[in-house]
Structure 1
């Protein structure tokens, strides 16, 4: 068993890396925005593995990955079904009107390439893999899941700064001023923290990183695809 002091320093290093990665990705250059998170995820996984964190603790051993297959398929199918219904209902359709995905080609590129490689895989590796593994050495299940969810929520502050201005449905509901922007950020943090709690639980329940990866991808990809469909339906 690793010493508690060593586990504390490991966790501090992981959190510091996450903070630095977020700042670099959102407040430096366009290339950093594209590459910082995926590169940091790989380096963080390798670095923590060299520091003693086991593949099993990250949900990446062969047995853990096999255990998550059924849950992964079930999560993806469930999300696609729920989002399809939400897009079909006029009252909820407006919340899918994201300017970035107003065409089928941009939505497909995002769902099949950008979202998996730039968001889902690196974020799950960092949060449900490395961070949850590091937290699990120091806290029980509740503490691990709660702290992981809170940190995942705050991770999305930077990416939600222009949330209301880029989503017609949210702008119609919240407006477009400073107060609306603050409300949008708070809502995004709360929503992603709740999502982080579910993803963390799924990682704990299945012992596998594969299941939260599938659910995370399904949530983001269906959002993009749902937006492309919503823009071409009556409003």
Structure 2
């Protein structure tokens, strides 16, 4: 029993030194798997990556409230998420009705998708893949680990910057997939570079907004709700408009 306790104490002692490296390895591996090596296993990769990140954070000494997953804040986080989803729905509805903004929904990933595929993307691929991993990674684990070491402002800045860089690989074909983006940057190598730069900047700014939601609500559910709404409801609108 004494040896077991000693081993546990040793593991806890090295956690703060090794956990950040473990987080970096998981994020790099997940990004490569999702965008290059095994995109077909996207949801499984995201779910597995999220679980590993949470283990690393707990090893680092983060509590569930530190991670935005405390019981006391769940109800408040759900209220924030519901309000934000309704707000996104209202904005998207207006944008879809206006010709100047309707082209923003023209995305080849949604165009022509059968209804079961739309449902899968909105209810599985996006919430259990994209949202789960990215929110746990950047507004949960990284935010908590950085805030404990350097304070909240630096946690917001660094996690948001890394969130922007996270989108380099998935944004490489953005100009060719989205009509609105293509109309702004054109085609070719320069257009790809412009689209990637813009995507990194916009997602980094979005990451800062998500961090503020997480801070104000005390719950990871608030940024999760907004993130799913922007992506999931947006995908549903894009598919519906493409279907006529």
TM-score, normalization: structure 2?
A: 0.87
Is the 1:153–1:191 contact (alpha carbons within 8 Å) kept by the matching residues of 2?
yes
Partners of 2:243 and 2:36 in 1: CA distance: 34
Residues 1:25 and 2:54 aligned together? no
Is the 2:185–2:191 contact (alpha carbons within 8 Å) kept by the matching residues of 1?
yes
Deviation by residue 1:196-232 (Cα, 9 ceiling, x = unmatched): 1111110111110111110100010121012123325
Q: Secondary structure at the match of 2:149?
A: coil
The CA RMSD over aligned residues, in Å, is 2.1
Partners of 2:169 and 2:80 in 1: CA distance: 31
Higher RCO (C-alpha under 8 Å, 6+ residues apart): 1
What does 1:118-157 align with in structure 2 at a 5 Å threshold? Answer: 118-157=129-168
Partners of 2:15 and 2:43 in 1: CA distance: 32
> For residue 114 of structure 1, what is the aligned residue in structure 2?
125
C-alpha change, 1:16 and 1:30, in structure 2 (3 Å) is closer
Structure 1 residues not aligned, in runs of 5+: none
Is the 2:22–2:56 contact (alpha carbons within 8 Å) kept by the matching residues of 1?
no
Compute the displacement of 1:41 (Å): 0.9
Partners of 2:208 and 2:194 in 1: CA distance: 21
State the number of aligned residues. 231
What does 1:30-45 align with in structure 2 at a 5 Å threshold? Answer: 30-45=39-54
Residues 1:167 and 2:167 aligned together? no
Residues 1:179 and 2:199 aligned together? no
Partners of 2:49 and 2:226 in 1: CA distance: 22
Deviation by residue 1:116-144 (Cα, 9 ceiling, x = unmatched): 11111121111111111111111222211
Is the 1:11–1:135 contact (alpha carbons within 8 Å) kept by the matching residues of 2?
no
Is the 1:72–1:210 contact (alpha carbons within 8 Å) kept by the matching residues of 2?
yes
> For residue 11 of structure 1, what is the aligned residue in structure 2?
20
Compute the displacement of 1:43 (Å): 1.5
Deviation by residue 1:14-41 (Cα, 9 ceiling, x = unmatched): 2332123212322213444443222111
- Answer with 1 or 2: which has the greater Rg: 2
> For residue 206 of structure 2, what is the aligned residue in structure 1?
195
Structure 2 residues not aligned, in runs of 5+: 1-11
C-alpha change, 1:8 and 1:206, in structure 2 (3 Å) is farther
What does 1:57-76 align with in structure 2 at a 5 Å threshold? Answer: 57-76=66-85
Q: Secondary structure at the match of 1:208?
A: coil
Compute the displacement of 1:162 (Å): 0.8
Partners of 1:137 and 1:104 in 2: CA distance: 46
Residues 1:55 and 2:64 aligned together? yes
Is the 2:142–2:155 contact (alpha carbons within 8 Å) kept by the matching residues of 1?
no
Partners of 2:67 and 2:142 in 1: CA distance: 8
